[in-house]
Amino acid sequence: MTVNIPENVTQYRERVISKTVKYFTGTSLLDSGCGDGEDVYLKKKYFKKITGVDIAESPRWEELSGRGITFKKSDAEKLPFKNSSFDTVLEKDMLHHASNPVRALQEMIRVAKKRVIVIEANRYNPLFYINLTLMNNHQHFTQKRFLRIMGSGGLPFTVEHFSARVCWINNPAIIRAFDAAEDMLEKIKIYSPIIEYNLGIISKK
């Protein structure tokens, strides 16, 4: 149902999922700050029940709802769910938009039963910094601040890093080559400080 989504955009979204899928656990997922809901739809094969929440509703929610997928308008800093409501709770690029990212993370931890997955762009990736921080005012976290926010949850956590961005040319062969190049970048240690994404994992059980 991801209609009219360019292949290069879908490839980027699926790459991000491929970097986090090993941490998916249980049968229920909350995607906090789900945006248009397309990422929720791509994750449906991994969970029986997925709930997406965002501070603003998207026209796509109605089309994507059903078969275990639901959406709800909600502030990520005050989630309308009971403690331990979802096996896995995930966010991607939501915390840097929150007025209080620590509070938003604490809410994710509160409603998670087993695992919390935090995916945030690295502020000092050169392309992200120019395009998103300088030009579009996205206040991405530095790696140091990301660590502080993860630590604010009061639970043990691990942090990894991975490379992912939308290929600038929507051509299948070029997309595959682009994907392979990102795999290579992940293996270069000197690239780690400016790699595209920080991935934080909190396991409660």
Q: Which residues of the chain have pLDDT under 70?
A: 1-3, 129-137
- The CATH number of the domain holding residue 104 is 3.40.50.150
Q: Most distant CA pair in the chain: distance in Å? A: 46
Decide if 42 is inside a domain. Answer: yes
pLDDT digits (tens, 9 = 90+) for 46-71: 999 999 999 999 999 999 999 899 99
Decide if 21 is inside a domain. Answer: yes
Q: Supply the pLDDT for residue 11.
A: 94
Decide if 2 is inside a domain. Answer: no
pLDDT digits (tens, 9 = 90+) for 155-179: 999 999 999 999 989 999 999 999 9
Determine the Cα–Cα distance for residues 205 and 199; give it in Å rounded to an integer. Answer: 19
What's the total number of domains in the chain? 1
Decide if 50 is inside a domain. Answer: yes
Q: Supply the pLDDT for residue 125.
A: 79
HSE-CB at 141 with a 13 A cutoff on CA atoms is 25
Domain containing 70 equals 7-203
Output the pTM of the full model: 0.94
Decide if 123 is inside a domain. Answer: yes
Decide if 39 is inside a domain. Answer: yes
Decide if 127 is inside a domain. Answer: yes
Strands of 122-182 (E only): list them: 157-162
Q: Assign residue 3 a region (left: φ > 0; alpha: ψ between -120 and 50; beta: otherwise).
A: beta
